[in-house]
């Protein structure tokens, strides 16, 4: 088999790179465009960093109208015993509500942390969208 001249190989390689980069750009732009319309309805996470773990959730209203949600966060705090934080929120269509709570890691034992998110203004089980529990251990 005849060897391709050096120039041809380089050209093919360059065009290959160009195509790859161009395809990546298209994908990136498409992904950004999609991310504002679709994606998860609820994204929940616990960031365990040092003595200040952070609970967060992002709640997107994918409907066409304003929507009410209720969230309840309960945890046993070393300082204050059982802490319950509940609030109702209104989220416009297509918008996202962002929640972050920076907590204090217990000095001993564990902290049991529970998050519940409901659709609407109440907290009936039928409208429960999300229910998750974490156990945060004391810092060693």
Partner 1 sequence: MKKAAKDLLRVFAVASLVLSSMLVAFAWNPSTSNLTGTDSSTDSSVSGVNRRFNIDGGPSGTYGMQAGDDSDSLALLMKMVTVTTSNVPSSPPATVSPAADSDDGTATAFGFQRKCFYAKGRYWAFFYRCPGGTSWVISYFTSTDGSTWSEGAQSPISTSCDEGSRFSLFFDGTYVHYALRASSNYVLRYRRGTPRTDGGIDWSAAQQTAYTANSTSTIYRPCIAVDSSGYAWIGFQLNDGTIGVPYIIKSGNNDGTWGTGTNTKLLSVGLVEGTNGGYSVAAIPLTGGKMLAIYTANSQYVMTKRWTGSSWGSQVNETTSKALRGFAFSATNEGDDVHLVFTKSGTPRSIVYSKYSYSSNSFGTEETAAGSTYVDDSRCGPVLSINRKNNVLYCFWTTWSYMYYNTRGTSWGTPTQWYSNSPYWVESTTCFYESNGGGIGMIHLYSDQRVKFAARVNGGFSVGDMSAGDQYEMNFTVGSKDFAMLFNATGPTSGYCNLFYKDTGAGSWSSGTYFSQTSIQTGTEYHDTNTYIGFVLTNSTSSADGSAKFIVSKSYLGSLGASGTSVTNIVSVAYVNGNGRPKPSGTTPNDRCPSTGTASYTLQQGGIGVPEFPVGVLVLAIPLMGIYFYLRERSRTNRGNCIGEAPRHE
CB of 80 to partner 1, least distance (A): 6
C-alpha dihedral sign at 12, 18, 21, 25: negative
Please say which residue, 21 or 128, places its beta carbon nearer to partner 1.
21
Residue 96 burial by CB count (10 A; 0-12/13-18/19+): exposed, middle or buried?
Answer: middle
Binding site for partner 1 (CB under 8 A): 7, 14, 17-18, 21-22, 24-25, 28-29, 32, 47, 52, 54, 56, 66, 78-82, 85, 87, 89-92, 95, 97-104, 107
7 vs 3, 11, 20, 99, 114, CA distance in Å?
11, 6, 20, 56, 64
CB of 21 to partner 1, least distance (A): 5
CB of 34 to partner 1, least distance (A): 13
């Amino acid at each position: 088999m005849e060897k391709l001249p050096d120039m041809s190989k380089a050209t093919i390689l360059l065009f290959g790179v160009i195509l790859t980069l161009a395809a990546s750009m298209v994908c990136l732009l498409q992904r950004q465009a999609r991310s504002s319309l679709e994606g998860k309805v609820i994204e929940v996470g616990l960031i365990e960093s040092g003595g200040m773990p952070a609970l967060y959730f992002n709640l997107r209203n994918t409907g066409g109208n304003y929507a009410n949600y209720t969230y309840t966060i309960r945890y046993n705090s070393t300082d204050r015993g059982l802490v319950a934080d509940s609030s109702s929120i209104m989220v416009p269509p297509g918008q996202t509500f962002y929640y972050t709570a920076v907590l204090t890691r217990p000095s001993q034992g564990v902290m049991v942390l529970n998050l519940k998110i409901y659709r609407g203004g109440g907290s009936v089980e039928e409208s429960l969208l999300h229910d998750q529990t974490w156990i945060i251990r004391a810092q060693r």
